[in-house]
Amino acid sequence: MAYIGTSPSNGVRRIHTYTATANQTTFTGSSTEGVTLTYADTNYIDVFQNGVLLGSADYTSTSGTSVVLAQGASADDLIVIVVYDVFSVADTVSKTNGGSFDSAVTMSNNLTVSGAFTSQGIDDNADATAITIDSSENVGVGGTPNNFGGMTTSLEIKGTSDVELSLHATSDAMSDGARIGQIVFNAGSDSTVPTVSAIKGSVSGTDENKGILSFHTRNTDTGGLPSERMRILSTGGVLMNRTSSNSSASTTLDIDAGSNIYCIVMTANPTNGAFVRFHKDDGSEIGSIDHTASVTRYLTSSDHRLKENVVAMEDATTRLKQLQPKRFNFIADSNDTTVDGFLAHEVQSVVPEAVSRTHNEVDDDGNPNYQGIDQSKLVPLLVKTIQELEARITALENAE
């Protein structure tokens, strides 16, 4: 057994007292002291009968648990057996100098550690430090907790592979939206304070191979859990202020402004810079939205080094006359909101690059895929038409 403190002596003496019955020869079991007779070596016991030390010929002691007298005792004889055993100390740890135990230590009461506590593992198979708790009550799992940027780390988990922190569902019954695990943030130390934000992992559909990660925040002092603000779908798409997309097609980013005035606000360099740049898969830029100190520009690729088969535009006037400008209002707007514009399918036959999709197009479910128009693509046709008209006017003026 282990011992904390001053090292004890290496021997122990136990006294076993028995009151004999008439002709009793064997003495064993519990004594008057309530201690069961045991001894390790027959050479290290003394046997007294009515205070007289018996010689080795007067008794037999070979079993380790009993003493047998050569002659039966008289009634009420007092038999005293003194056992001397070696006390072997497995580990002795000095209070001043410290030390270590080779075997397990069991505490029957509280254990208080005033310095840093380092665990070499949480089971008998561990071979490295598993958890470290420093004197400031910071906890490090897989290593010592650090301070990053001067900010104290209360809990730091260091993984030796790809897994740093794992949250696992307690049930194998998966259903759409079933929560797998969550990280919850509470304001203050009181157990009654509300949860102000949370990150939750849940199942997408009923397939445990597809997951959703959602972010929640509180913006009210009423009860209940924080509201979901952003969701990352199993496809990689991101929803903000909504839990499902309004689009029937796969969407990378879907934002619902809700009651806010602005959906997106972009801030860039105060004098010049880009708000958005558009790139192809190969990394080459094909457009951008940038600004100067006063204006915003919507740019598309137009560098001559990107073009070939460049020829002058001809007979723009004939093509322009095929366009059919209209006045109308959109169904979603009030009837008195009339605007000027075009019907996309009528422009498509004249300037096809200005129009997206096809006339009356629908998706696989029969929902309409509405056409769109980029009216800036009509500018070259307008400019060339003006030039042609200018040339005709000049020719007429010169002919007078």
Cβ neighbours of residue 335 under 8 Å, at least 6 residues apart? 329
Q: Are residues 58 and 9 in the same domain?
A: yes
Taking the C-alpha atoms of residue 53 and residue 76, their distance in angstroms, rounded to an integer, is 17
Average pLDDT across the chain, whole number: 84
Q: Are residues 145 and 76 in the same domain?
A: no
pLDDT digits (tens, 9 = 90+) for 356-388: 999 999 988 898 999 999 999 999 999 999 999
Cα angle value 218/222/227 (rounded, 5°)? 30
In a domain, 93, yes or no: no
Provide the 8-state DSSP code for 94. B
Taking the C-alpha atoms of residue 254 and residue 260, their distance in angstroms, rounded to an integer, is 15
Rg (CA), the chain: 46
In a domain, 369, yes or no: yes
Taking the C-alpha atoms of residue 159 and residue 143, their distance in angstroms, rounded to an integer, is 9
In a domain, 42, yes or no: yes
Taking the C-alpha atoms of residue 270 and residue 266, their distance in angstroms, rounded to an integer, is 11
Cβ neighbours of residue 193 under 8 Å, at least 6 residues apart? 186, 187
Taking the C-alpha atoms of residue 289 and residue 199, their distance in angstroms, rounded to an integer, is 33
**Residue 320 host element (H or E):** helix 316-320
In a domain, 281, yes or no: yes
pLDDT for 63 equals 87
Last residue of a domain, one of 96, 130, 164: 164
Determine contact, residues 213/234, Cβ cutoff 8 Å. Answer: no
pLDDT digits (tens, 9 = 90+) for 245-297: 877 667 888 988 888 888 888 888 888 888 999 999 999 999 999 998 889 99
- Which tokens hold the place of 334? 């009030």
Taking the C-alpha atoms of residue 306 and residue 270, their distance in angstroms, rounded to an integer, is 30
Q: Are residues 18 and 67 in the same domain?
A: yes
In a domain, 82, yes or no: yes
- Which tokens hold the place of 262? 């602005």
Q: Are residues 277 and 249 in the same domain?
A: no
With cut-offs at 50, 70 and 90, classify the pLDDT of residue 86.
Answer: low
Tell me whether residue 388 is exposed, middle or buried, using C-beta atoms within 10 angstroms of its C-beta: 0 to 12, 13 to 18, 19 or more. Answer: middle
Instruction: With H, G, I as helix, E, B as strand and everything else as coil, classify residue 28.
Output: strand
pLDDT digits (tens, 9 = 90+) for 285-323: 999 999 988 899 999 999 999 999 999 999 999 999 999
Pairing of strands 45-49, 26-28: unpaired
Q: For the chain, give the percent of residues with pLDDT over 90.
A: 45
Q: Are residues 294 and 332 in the same domain?
A: no
5 pLDDT higher than 60: no
Domain count, the chain: 5
Q: Are residues 233 and 157 in the same domain?
A: no
φ, ψ for residue 299, nearest 5 deg: -110, 140
Determine contact, residues 254/231, Cβ cutoff 8 Å. Answer: no
Taking the C-alpha atoms of residue 196 and residue 287, their distance in angstroms, rounded to an integer, is 41
Q: Are residues 7 and 74 in the same domain?
A: yes
Q: Are residues 125 and 190 in the same domain?
A: no
With cut-offs at 50, 70 and 90, classify the pLDDT of residue 345.
Answer: very high
Taking the C-alpha atoms of residue 235 and residue 349, their distance in angstroms, rounded to an integer, is 37
In a domain, 158, yes or no: yes
Q: Are residues 69 and 12 in the same domain?
A: yes
Q: Are residues 55 and 131 in the same domain?
A: no
In a domain, 396, yes or no: no
Shortest CA distance to 70 belongs to which of 89, 47, 92?
47
What is this structure's pTM?
A: 0.56
pLDDT for 147 equals 67
In a domain, 173, yes or no: no
Q: Are residues 57 and 123 in the same domain?
A: no
165 pLDDT higher than 50: yes
Q: Are residues 160 and 224 in the same domain?
A: no
Q: In what order do the strands lie in the sheet with 66-69?
A: 26-28, 66-69, 59-60
Taking the C-alpha atoms of residue 66 and residue 390, their distance in angstroms, rounded to an integer, is 133
Provide the 8-state DSSP code for 378. G
Taking the C-alpha atoms of residue 88 and residue 93, their distance in angstroms, rounded to an integer, is 14
Range of the structural domain that residue 37 is part of = 2-86
